[in-house]
Amino acid sequence: MRHTLVRTSSLVVAFLVCAGLSLRGEGPPPQSRPATAPADAGPATQGAVLFRQECVFCHGVSAKGGMRGPDLTTGAWSHGGSDEELTATISGGVPGTAMPANNLPPVEIAQIIAYLRTVQQPPTPSRGDVARGETLFFGGGRCGACHIVQGRGGRVGPELTRVGSARSRGYLIESIREPGKFLTEHDGTGEAGARRYDTVVAVTNAGQTITGVAMNEDTFTVQIMDTADRIHSLVKRDLKSFRHEERSMMPAYGAAQVNDAALDDLVAYLQTLRTPTPTKKGGPQ
Ligand code: HEC
Ligand code: HEC
């Protein structure tokens, strides 16, 4: 997410500033800002340092989730939450995903797990009803018109087949109540930072207005997916106008459309949509 990146880079800046100051002898003495935790620090403190070095890039500051890796603080784990299962995931990675295998020694993995335990929220007992949530998703809520879950649904919004692995409860609620607060990234082509599910509006010379999400875009052409799942391949030069709008195609679902009980049902359903563990039997390679 963009806000995570911003925070990361301001941390980096803060770090560089401190490093610069101490180089010039004006800052605090170097030993007060250790690059690694002191040897007598607790395992969780050591683990926090390791996490910042090895994992923050994908899992974000405080393990709250980044653009490449899921939130690790939700207390719900796709690949198991016991110490043993977490050790297997961290050392073996998750084959077929961006989660890499690691050569970290067992003691360091144990420190990282100790750190993850300190940021993990107690698993919230699901208040909603999964079956009612699913019915609402594909029925009255019309979520399925724009989102694919396990091969079923529309394509103008991001696929949600694994959304429960990647996103916290708070994020899911915000996505429904205030879509577009943070526009989801997509993996089509386009300028870095522009691969987001924002809304684009193109007007052709014939006067037709096409509104949708730009799945692929370069300087000269754009492919727009509309809410009827049609792809429009357009040459920008041939358009009367073309613009990106900083908003989501997803309507905001306020309490009038989805009351709090229905919201709980939807979130309970979304939280069941998780990555299966591919190598349960074989263990980490
Ligand atoms: C290059 C990006 C990347 C890096 C670096 C990375 N991860 Fe991951 N991690 C991922 C992705 C993506 C997933 C989700 C895999 C999936 O779809 O199940 C994941 C999943 C996980 C899971 C499983 C979560 C669950 O719900 O079961 C754990 C635990 C984890 N990572 C810990 C770590 C730790 C600890 C580090 C640092 C040593 C790390 N990761 C480094 C991308 C990364
Ligand atoms: C008209 C199409 C449309 C409808 C209807 C719709 N969505 Fe979305 N949804 C989108 C688009 C586009 C995005 C990506 C932009 C954004 O972040 O808001 C999105 C984003 C999301 C996300 C964030 C996914 C992520 O990984 O970041 C969730 C969760 C979500 N929608 C759930 C729902 C639910 C639940 C409903 C029904 C109550 C629903 N959507 C209805 C189009 C739609």
Ligand nearest to the CA of 279: 1
User: What does the block give as tokens for 178?
Assistant: 């205030």
Q: Which residues pair with 209 in a beta bridge?
A: 203
Q: Which ligand 1 atom sits nearest the alpha carbon of residue 77? A: 26
CA of 173 to the centre of ligand 2 (A): 11
The structural domains of the chain, ordered by start, are: 34-119 (1.10.760.10), 130-179+252-271 (1.10.760), 184-249 (2.30.30.100)
Q: Which residues pair with 211 in a beta bridge?
A: 201
Q: Which ligand 2 atom sits nearest the alpha carbon of residue 182? A: 17
Task: State the pLDDT confidence band at 36, using cuts at 50, 70 and 90.
Answer: low
Pocket lining for ligand 1, CB < 6 angstroms: 54-55, 57-59, 68-70, 72, 77-79, 86, 89-90, 94, 97-100, 102, 112, 162, 165, 275
Q: At what angle do helices 106-119 and 43-54 cross, to 10 degrees?
A: 100
What confidence tens digit (pLDDT) does each residue in 115-163 have? Answer: 999 998 876 666 899 999 999 999 999 999 999 999 999 999 999 998 8
Which of 71, 94, 168 maximizes ligand 1 atoms within 8 Å of its Cβ, making it the mutation to test the pocket?
94
Q: Which residue has the higher pLDDT, 193 or 182?
A: 182
Check residue 229 and give its pLDDT. Answer: 93
User: What does the block give as tokens for 145?
Assistant: 């018109």
Rounded to whole angstroms, the Cα distance separating 176 from 170 reads 10
Q: What are phi and psi of 3, to 5 degrees?
A: -65, -30
The answer to whether 59 touches 72, Cβ cutoff 8 Å, is: yes
Looking at the predicted structure, is the pLDDT value of residue 284 above 50?
Answer: no
Q: Which residue has the higher pLDDT, 66 or 221?
A: 221
- The reply to whether ligand 2 has any atom less than 6 angstroms from the CB of 1 is no
Task: State the pLDDT confidence band at 39, using cuts at 50, 70 and 90.
Answer: low
Looking at the predicted structure, is the pLDDT value of residue 90 above 90?
Answer: yes
What confidence tens digit (pLDDT) does each residue in 230-280 have? Answer: 999 999 999 999 999 999 999 999 999 999 999 999 999 998 898 776 554
User: What does the block give as tokens for 10?
Assistant: 């301001």
Across 210-234, average pLDDT? 94
Highest mean pLDDT out of 31-45, 67-81, 241-255: 241-255
Q: What is the DSSP letter of 227?
A: T
- The reply to whether ligand 2 has any atom less than 6 angstroms from the CB of 266 is yes
> What proportion of the chain, given as a percentage, has pLDDT over 90?
57
The answer to whether 242 touches 222, Cβ cutoff 8 Å, is: yes
Check residue 127 and give its pLDDT. Answer: 82
What confidence tens digit (pLDDT) does each residue in 7-34 have? Answer: 444 444 444 433 333 333 333 333 333 4
Average of per-residue pLDDT values in the chain = 83
Check residue 23 and give its pLDDT. Answer: 37
Closest CA to 173 of 64, 271, 245: 271
Across 55-79, average pLDDT? 86
Ligand nearest to the CA of 82: 1
Residue 206 CB partners (closer than 8 Å, separation 6+)? none
- The reply to whether ligand 2 has any atom less than 6 angstroms from the CB of 147 is yes
Total-model pTM = 0.70
Looking at the predicted structure, is the pLDDT value of residue 40 above 50?
Answer: yes
Check residue 189 and give its pLDDT. Answer: 67
- The reply to whether ligand 2 has any atom less than 6 angstroms from the CB of 172 is yes
